[in-house]
Structure formats: C-alpha cells, structure tokens
A and B are shown apart, each in its own frame.
Chain A
Amino acid sequence: MDYFNTLVVILDSTIRLSIPLLLACLAGLYSERAGIFDIGLEGKMLAGAFAGAAAAAVSGSAWIGLSAALLVSTFLALVHGFASITHRGNQIVSGVAINFIAAGSTIILGQAWFSQGGRTPSLGADARFTAITLPGAEALRDVPIVGYLYYELVSGHSALVYFAFAMVAFTWWVLFRTRFGLRLRAVGENPAAVDTAGVSVAWLRYRAVICTGILCGFAGTYLALAQNAGFVKDMTAGKGFIALAALIFAKWRPVPAMFACLLFGFLDALSIRMQGTPLPLVGRVPAQFFQALPYVLTVVLLAGFIGRAIPPRAGGVPYVKER
C-alpha cells in the first residue's frame, strides 16, 4: 500500500506538471499543422503568465487574469504571424525574437510595476484557479482503489486541467472532422493547393496562429494562477521547448501529443520525488540526472525509436506564388 500511495502521488503531480506542456503542445500543433513553425511558444507562455498574474493581482479576479493572458499571448502570436505570413520572414528568427522580448519585458515591467524583483505579488484564492472537488469525490473517497483513485487523481485539480484534457479531444475533432481542420492540414502540406482551390492561405494561417496564441495564454495562466500563486521570472523554464519536442514526438497528432506530454510530466514528477532519495544499488543520484532525463529521452527517442517524424511539408516555408 505504501508503494501504491507513492505511485498515486507521483501520478497526481504528473498530471499537474503535464498541463502546461500539453496546452503549449496543442498550441504549437495548430500553428505547425498550418505550416508556421513556432519556437516562440516559450515566450508566449511566459508573457501570458506575467500578464495573467499582473492583471489578477491588480483586479483580484482570476478571470480577468485569464483574459489578460489570452490577450497578450494572442497579440504576440499575431506579431509572429505578421512577420512570417504577411512579410514572409524567417519563422525561427521571429520565434526567437518573441522569446527574448518576453523574457526581458516581463522582468522589466514586473519590477517597474510591483518592485518585487520581477515577481508579481502573491495571489489570494479568488485571484487563482484553485482545485475543485468533483461531485461524489468525497463520498467515494473510502471505496478501495477506484474511489481512492477518483478522489486523488481525477478530482481535485484546477478547472484548467480539465480544460486541457478536453482540448485534446476538441483539437482532434477540429482537425479531422471539420472543414477548418481539413483546410488547416492542407495549408501546412501544400499551400498552393489551398490557394488554387480558392481559399485564402494567409487568412487560414492567421486563424491557426490565433489558436496558438490562445492556447499559449491558457498555458501561461495555468503556470501563474493555478500551479503557482503569481509570476516568477523565467517561470516557464524551457517548457515551451519541451512542448515542441513532445509535438515532434507525437508526429503532430493531438492524442499522441497528450501521451508525450504526460510522459515528460511523469519524468519531471519522478525527478522531484527522487531528489535526495537513495536508489537501491546505485545510492544517491544527483537531482540533475532526473532533471536531464526528459531532454535525454527526447534526443534518444527522436534519434531512432519512434521512426521518422515527418513534419508538415510546407512547414517553415513562407508561401509565395510562383515568381
């Protein structure tokens, strides 16, 4: 029972740690499926987290925080779109620029507004998305295994967690069951086919980029208003890049993306749990070893174990009519 409890605790924190990855990964999926590479997920998430925390701190409302996060993140996504769709700029350069802008401006603005060394003030319960208990969780708590799992694992997360998992199904449905999804996938593979079919390539890609911005805003909100109680500088800590790795790993498909993010979240949870705990036979392992695992895993798996990950064919290439 002791091992079981430990496992449940690790799985529970796996879910918490996977959510920002999952939201960012789905965000990237919309953009990259439409043929716009986006390494600026990190920056949009960070800016969203800051805007969300700042607005929530001032207004005292989590919902106003969320709105601010969505606005700022979508604005940055549109900047990326403007550079790479309208002006056919290099998508990598534009993404890097957004990361830098977010990393720098959040600290400067945070210090100027709140004077707490780049942090935002600590948020109270009303200004956060706190854990919600699902109906029946208390009642089922004492039912062995199933009830316990329901109470510990399924119930007791913030609303954003449930939203993220719902987005997996929703994204799959949009991508493979709607007209928008069909066109989105087409424009990432062969924009000329979309253009000659009488559909605007630019407008389609802008809509994809907006979806990316919105989901990155949610990811940032989760970091600042659910996982933590405020903004801390560089709080995304590379999650945007891990999300990109998960996206490649999942070959740009929503359901595998969820599993990839859960896997990375699990490794993260394991590394926190294992800090300072001696392992049998090998003894004490430095925490950095576990922290490095997700990255090592990405390299190893991408290098051969998952087969070739073929990105959308038109990815990264600005669309120009012939000549």
Chain B
Amino acid sequence: MAEAAIELVGINKSFGAVHANRDIHLEVPRGTIHGIVGENGAGKSTLMSILYGFYQADRGEIRVNGKPAAINTPNDAIALGIGMVHQHFMLVQNFTVLENVILGVEGGALLKSSIARARSELTRLEREYGLEVDPDAVIEELPVGLQQRVEILKALYRGAEILILDEPTGVLTPPEADHLFRILRQLKEEGKTVILITHKLHEIMAITDNVSVMRQGQMVATRKTSETNVEELAELMVGRRVLLRVEKGENRPGDFKLSVKNLTVRDSRGVTMVDDVSLDVRAGEIVGIAGVAGNGQSELIETIAGIRKAVSGTVLLDGKPIDVTGTADPGELRDRGLAHVPEDRHYVGLVLAFEEYENSILGYHDHAQYLKGPFLNIEAIRADARDKIEKYDIRPANERLKTANFSGGNQQKIVLARELEKDPGVLIVGQPTRGVDVGAIEFIHKRLIAMRDAGKAVLLVSVELDEIRSLSDRILVMFDGRIVGERDGDASEGELGLLMAGVERQEAAE
C-alpha cells in the first residue's frame, strides 16, 4: 500500500447533543480515489469540514503525509495542499472566473499583477486537466457543470495535492458527470489524491479505488472497491438489507386522468420556461419527467398544481378543464382530487416552525373533520396526525415536535402522508426523495407504486435518473422547456442522458 496522504485518528465532533463524528479512523493512500458513502446525517460532510479546517474536531488527530497536522482554519488546510469542492459552490456569483480563482490568494495588494499571473497559470491548468472554461466569464452566466470546474480550478490553483469533492454529481447531467470522472482519473494519474463523498453507489463502483462507509457518525467499514458490491455497501450504510430496485408489476393504465395541452409558462422575467408542452397521465400509471434541474420541470408541475399561472394552454383534470391561465388555485384543485408533493418541502411544503400536527393538515385545515364550528378541532387534528405518524413510520413519533427537528426523510414523509391520505385521483410529486436517506427512499417508492396499483395517476418529476427509471411506466424528457422525447420505463441511462443534455435535438437542428 502506498504511503497515506491523509490519516484521521480518533476524530470526535459534537454539535450540542448530536455526536456527528464518533472515533473516526480513516486512511487514504496517496494517488488513489477514495469514496466515502453514507446516508444524510451520517457525518460525512462534518468529517470533511474538519479536514478542511472549517470546523475543529473536539478530539483526535489529523496526519497529512504521515506528519501530524494542526488544521484550525481553511488557510491551514490550503497550506497543506488540501482543496475542497463544496456541495454548494463557494463562488461569488457576480465575479468572473479569474476573480473567483484568485480570491484569498491574490499575492499582492493590487489586482492587476495577480490577475495577469492567474490568467497564465489558469491556461496551463486548463490544458493539463481538460478543464476548459473562459476565465473572463461571469459565474452566474455559466452552467453548473462549468461552475464546478471553476471550483476544481480554484483548488488546483492553490496547489492542492489532495482534493475533496462533496456530492459533486448531484447537479450534473450524466455526460457532465462522465466528464468530471475523466478529470478525476486524470488528477489521479498526476499523483493527486481524491476523496469523493457521495450517496450514489454506482459512482463509487465506477471510479473509486477504496470506499469507506459511514453510519450515524461512525466509520463502519472500509473496502477495496473491487472487492465489494452495491448491495453490500447499501446494507452497510443503512445497517439492514435494502431493496435498491423497486419491485413493481405490470401496469394497467385506465382512463385519462390528467391531460395537458400546449401549455406555455413564462417566469417573472418573461423567459419562457415551459414551451408548448402536452402530456397525458392515465389512471394506474406513473409518468416520469426526467431532465436536468432548471429545464422547466418545476414550472410545469407548479402550473398544473395551480401555484403558477400559464400564458396559454389547457389542462384537463378528469376531463374537466382547470383554469390554468386564470383563477386556478391549489385549494380548489385539492378539492377536485389533485394532490401535490412540492419539490421544495422547506419553502413550499412545510412550515418548519410549526409543530408536526399542524403541518400534517396544512391546506386541508378547512375540511370539516378538522373543524369544530369556526375553530380548529385540535384534538381531532392531533389524533389524525398520530394515525399518520404510525402509518408512515414517521420518527420521532411525536406530533408536538417542531417540524424543523425532523430529519429530511421524515419531513418528506409528513408531506407525503398529508397528501396521500386524502386519497387523491391524481398525484403530482416533485423530487420525492431529495435529501432523503436510503431507508426512507425505499418506503416512499413503495408508497408511490402502491398509489399506482390502486389506480391513481402519478406524475413524477425528479432529477435522479435512477429514480425516474425505477418508478416510471413512461418517461418524458424535458430540455429547455420542451418535451424532447418519450421512452418506455426501461430506457437505458445513456439514451436518456443524451436527451437530457439536448443532444438529439441539436443534431436534428443541424
């Protein structure tokens, strides 16, 4: 085994009562790609933040290249050759690429000479690693894939020998992710060490040399990637056997429940986000909409759900029109049997400062069963919330707890329980498992399949291609506001990936 670039010995870190990292031991050999997997809240990000000097460990030792290192600030980490690409990019949106790269390492009080130096160095790095990006482009005008390259360039410009990437592929299209992996292999060949944090197990299998698994703040196992498999890793992550592939039978599509015709939606700036989209969802089928975030999927489902107004087009629910260009509102649609699990549960789906039981009826609070005259029937609501908690295995089972204190997966179950328990005919679901851990994903997927089998129409939007492929009976791909292709549920990832990147469409145009 090569010498260890990074060695963590007995790292401990607590935030208040939460023991985020418990006696962590980790050894990362130099010149390898090392994966770290674990569910949300397993402590991966905390551990990496400690390594990068963003937090300080309560106890434990960090060794870099065999020597004990005191890393108290990101500066210390940078000086030791550690670079980090954060999950949420640490870029100044209205700065150019160059300005972002030199921020903090300007090397002089005046910018002129630093910028000139950075420009030539950047050109060299870009050529060496295939990281082309226009140095004078403004960040907010770059697609996320390129923004990520800027983050990598930032680290390399600071002389990083050890590169940490936190969930780097979450925002990328499959071709962009492939490009990223080529860059990472290139870095490895140059002798650099890469630590890759992810929850996507097939990425681990595809690119890493070794993999460590974290669970509930502990490092539970380290394996050579060639000697393990996805099933074993998933089991290690969750602590029990999980079904990765959802089991579902043949679907029996029935009547048209939801029909969208020629729907066009513009955003507040007047940019067309949904461009002449038509689709149908029948009873007993799940229609998945695949696409990279920001290609109009969000606007599409928000419009159908009555949150956003359309410019033109019609939507029929059970054959009767919804006034999508005018007065449609979510309350009315709910009463007509259309339920909506919004993409962003924190801003749209839940009031985090409310107690759980209050959220469990939000939007249905004017239904007679929850009222006593003009007042809320608190007893009935709490009893109802307790029912849902039991049925959906929401933990902790306490309807009086503030919603913000539930984990992402349990918050999602609260929303799901609220919408599904009203037995809607049509269900619109956005990103049902974003920020949800593996165990809860399994549960949520089973619920959605059960809805389908009960003859409901389900329209699913997700940026997780795996999710779309395992749940959908039909897949529509959205690119740049349009539906650019329809495939069966068993379409290959590569085929969908090309459609999502708009490749087919551009070729046709040429």
- Give B94-111 as 1s and 0s: 1 = Cβ < 8 Å from A's Cβ atoms: 110001101111101111
A182 contacts the other chain (CB 8 A): yes
Q: Does A87 contact B (CB under 8 A)?
A: no
Q: Which residue of A lies closest to B18 (CB)?
A: A323
The B interface is mostly helix, strand or loop, or mixed, namely loop
Q: How far is the CB of A188 from chain B (nearest CB, A)?
A: 9
B108 and A179 within 8 A (CB)? yes
List A contacts of B398 (CB < 8 A). none
Q: Counting CB contacts under 8 A, is B92 at the interface? A: yes
Judged by a CB distance under 8 angstroms, whether B377 is at the interface is: no
Q: Which residues of B contact A234 (CB under 8 A)?
A: none
| A144 part of interface (Cβ distance < 8 Å) | no
Q: Does B262 contact A (CB under 8 A)?
A: no
The stretch of B73-81, B129-137, B226-234, B466-474 that contacts the partner chain: B73-81
Q: Which residues of B contact A189 (CB under 8 A)?
A: 92-95
Measured CB to CB, the nearest residue on chain B to A200 is B73
What is the bound-complex CA distance between A241 and B15, given in angstroms? 42
Query: Would you call A182 and B84 a contact (CB within 8 A)?
Result: no
Q: Does A193 contact B (CB under 8 A)?
A: yes
Which residues of chain A come closer than 8 Å to B111, judged between CB atoms? 176-179, 181-182
Q: Which residues of A contact B108 (CB under 8 A)?
A: 179
Contacts of B39-88 to chain A: CB distance below 8 A: 49, 52, 54-55, 73-75, 78, 84, 86, 88
A196-B84, A198-B75, A199-B104 given as contacts; is B109 within 8 A of A180 (CB)? yes
Q: Determine whether the beta carbon of A179 is less than 8 Å from that of B93.
A: no
Contacts of A178 in B (CB 8 A): 109-111
Query: Given the complex of chains A and B, what is the CA–CA distance between A154 and B334 in angstroms?
Result: 70
A198 touches B114 (CB 8 A): no
| B110/A182 in contact, CB under 8 A | no
Q: How far is the CB of B21 from chain A (nearest CB, A)?
A: 13
Q: Does A183 contact B (CB under 8 A)?
A: yes
Judging by beta carbons under 8 Å apart, are B100 and A193 in contact?
Answer: yes
Do A195 and B74 contact each other (CB < 8 Å), given the known contacts A182-B106, A186-B92? Answer: yes
Question: Does A131 have its Cβ within 8 Å of any Cβ on chain B?
Answer: no
Distance of A322 Cα from B106 Cα, bound (Å): 26
B401 at the A interface (CB under 8 A): no
* Residues A165-215 near B (CB distance < 8 A): 176-183, 185-186, 189-190, 192-199
Residues in chain B near residue A199, CB distance under 8 A = 103-104
Distance of A178 from chain B, by nearest CB (Å):
6
Using a Cβ cutoff of 8 Å, how many contacts connect chains A and B?
72
Number of interface residues of B (CB under 8 A): 32
> How close is B72's CB to chain A, nearest CB, in angstroms?
11
Within the assembled complex, what's the spacing in Å between the Cα atoms of A300 and B105?
43
Contact (Cβ within 8 A) B106 A190: no
B91 at the interface (CB under 8 A from A): yes
Decide if B368 is an interface residue (CB 8 Å cutoff).
Answer: no
Residue of B nearest to A195 (CB): B74
Q: How far is the CA of A189 from the CA of B93 in the complex (A)?
A: 7
For A321, what are the chain B residues with a Cβ–Cβ distance below 8 Å? 54-55
Cβ–Cβ < 8 Å partners of A323 in chain B: 15
Q: Which residue of B lies closest to A177 (CB)?
A: B111
B94 touches A198 (CB 8 A): no
Chain A residues closer than 8 Å to B114, beta-carbon distance: 179
Determine whether B90 belongs to the interface, using a CB cutoff of 8 Å to chain A.
yes
Most buried by B among A180, A186, A194: A186
Question: Is there contact, CB below 8 Å, between B110 and A197?
Answer: no
In the complex, residue of chain A having the shortest beta-carbon distance to the beta carbon of B104: A197
A179 close to B95 (CB less than 8 A)? no
Does B127 sit within 8 A of A, measured CB to CB? no
A197 touches B74 (CB 8 A): yes
B92 x A185 contact (CB < 8 A): yes
Q: Do A190 and B92 touch (CB < 8 A)?
A: yes
A313 and B93 in contact, given A177-B110, A178-B110, A321-B54 (Cβ under 8 angstroms): yes
Residue of A nearest to B103 (CB): A197
Residues of B within 8 A of A322 (CB): 49
How far does the Cβ of A218 sit from chain B's closest Cβ, in whole Å?
24
Judging by beta carbons under 8 Å apart, are B94 and A197 in contact?
no
Shortest CB-to-CB span from B109 to chain A, Å, is 5
Contact pick for B74, options A181, A185, A198, CB 8 Å: A198
| A-B CB contact pairs (8 Å), 20 listed | A177-B111, A177-B112, A179-B106, A183-B103, A185-B95, A186-B99, A190-B91, A190-B92, A192-B88, A192-B90, A193-B92, A194-B103, A195-B74, A196-B54, A196-B74, A197-B74, A197-B90, A198-B105, A199-B104, A313-B93
Known: A183-B104, A193-B90, A196-B90. 8 other contacts (CB 8 A): A178-B109, A189-B94, A189-B95, A193-B92, A194-B103, A199-B103, A321-B55, A323-B15
B: which residues have CB within 8 A of A?
A: 15, 49, 52, 54-55, 73-75, 78, 84, 86, 88, 90-95, 99-100, 102-106, 108-112, 114, 154
Which are the 7 A-B pairs with shortest beta-carbon distances? A197-B104, A198-B75, A193-B90, A179-B106, A196-B90, A198-B74, A189-B92
